[in-house]
Amino acid sequence: MRRLRKVKIVATLGPASETYETIRALHEAGADVFRLNMSHGTHDEIRAKHQIIRQVEQDLDSPIAILADLQGPKLRVGTFVNEAEELAEGAAFRLDLDPAPGDAGRVCLPHPEIFQVLEPGAHLLVNDGKIRLKVLDCGPDFAECTVVTGGTISNRKGVNVPDVVLPLAALSDKDRDDLEFACALGVDWLALSFVQRARDVFEARALADGRAAILSKIEKPAAVEAFDAILDASDGIMVARGDLGVELPVAAVPPIQKRLVRKCRAAAKPVIVATQMLESMIESPMPTRAEVSDVATAIYEGTDAIMLSAESAAGQYPLEAVRTMDNVAVEVEADPTYTQIIAASRTAKGTTIADGIVAAAREIAEKTDIKAICCFTQSGTTALLTARERPGVPIIAMTSLLATARRLCLSWGCHCVITPELERFKGAVVNAARAARAGGFAIETDQIVVTAGVPFNVPGTTNILRVAPCDERLIYNTDPG
């Protein structure tokens, strides 16, 4: 299923998008990756959605990536006698470990690990930052606070602690159960919530044991500070602007987003920009102009993917939201300014033969009349390196491994094609030409660039580049390989 844009679209599934008909329509409208939010729904409900996605994939003969998003450790206050209280600015408020229902002066915070690291002057944010508390005094089981920003506090509202690194593992007991369940199902990507340091990623990777790629969500200040190490430990990144915008000044989020996207591209690892991209489309068939600009900005930055959350999971217009993202992406990528920005942000990186091959493929494609770059890949690395170059022509990622094709559905510009295992380079060129014609990327009189590794079917051996005709007769007549 050919897309007319290179950036990918991630759509979250939920009550508004759980039937075969809707999921198929979302994919046909432009969704390349489906996100299963493990915070909502039972394992049986998640399994049902997974089965439908795989059925759509089979029926349309189109690889689809599935991303399971783990909940992560959720910090919440306890309950209140009256279910909710109004906190006034300047008032005193106490957090403690007493499980008794709270009132206007105190409430339980059933997380002793928070009290272990709190210091006077630290801030606690409640209910997505709508309430801000400043710690005046604290101990191993309490924190005396003053209300900096007042408002209504109610049962089990979330708590953010932006000023300290919490001694919490990124994986709760629920996350470990969900991770094993998702890997057994056969998801392609696992998203880790509230990552703070690289060792959080190592734990998930050990548990996944190669069954899924690991994507780290950057939503805490500690993760921004430790980003280079986290990126190195991860297979991909999500810039999760929701909690990031709560724990950091909102004005700091756009430059952070830009820096993280560029670092991911330089590392040849896919990056998703997420949260509130088309928020108004939960209830409206039309987005705001500001939302369209936000989506466009992420695309101009060169992100691999843009994501819908509640818009497609619980909104009234999931199909319209996907179509809107698709239309914005097509329009942006047709803008000459987009090409200029992408080219200007390209940085030379890597000294391997594969780095040289993909750089040469991109340059040849852009300076001559080449219709596509066809790269044969086992692990997906060659396709990722090619995507890092952000070439002006489509990337046809050809692999004999369905799992590799699915994972690459998240990567910029990659049109994934399943091919039989090959032993000779001539066979690879023929298959590439057929794929280019079948996908509508080229006709017989056109040329393509083919990259591959010899010997075949061995990861990490990209060492050959060929400019090839799309006419199979010419291939057989001219190629001795």
Q: Which of 275, 381, 419, 451 is catalytic?
A: 275
Q: Is 362 a catalytic residue?
A: no
Q: What is the CA radius of gyration of the chain?
A: 24
Q: Which of 6, 8, 35, 388 is catalytic?
A: 35
Token pair 């200040």 in the structure block, residue? 221
- Residue 4 near residue 406 (C-beta atoms within 8 A): no
Token pair 């709190």 in the structure block, residue? 118
Q: Which of 6, 132, 205, 217 is catalytic?
A: 217
Comparing C-alpha atoms, which of 426, 417, 382, 126 is closest to residue 268? 382
Q: What is the 8-class DSSP label of residue 102?
A: B
Strands 305-308 and 8-13: parallel
CA distance 374 to 452: 9
Q: Is 76 a catalytic residue?
A: yes
Q: Is 35 a catalytic residue?
A: yes
- Residue 140 near residue 112 (C-beta atoms within 8 A): yes
Strand order in the sheet with 370-376: 414-418, 395-399, 370-376, 447-453, 462-469
Encode burial over 166-194: b for 16+ CB neighbours within 10 A, e otherwise: bebbbbbeebeebbeebbebebbbbbbbb
In 10 A of CB 123, how many CB atoms? 19
In 10 A of CB 387, how many CB atoms? 27
The gap from C-alpha 244 to its chain's centroid, in whole angstroms, comes to 15
Dihedral (CA of 214, 75, 163, 247) sign: positive
DSSP codes of every residue in 354-383 = HHHHHHHHHHHHHHTTEEEEEEE-SSSHHH
Q: How many CA atoms lie within 13 A of 25 on its CB side?
A: 14
Q: Is 250 exposed, middle or buried (0-12, 13-18, 19+ CB in 10 A)?
A: exposed
Strands 414-418 and 305-308: unpaired
DSSP codes of every residue in 416-465 = EEE----SSHHHHHHHHHHHHHHTTS--TT-EEEEEEESSTT-TT-EEEE
Tell how many helices (H) and how many strands (E) occur in the chain: 18, 21
Q: Which of 47, 54, 74, 76 is catalytic?
A: 76
Tell me the catalytic residues.
35, 76, 217, 275
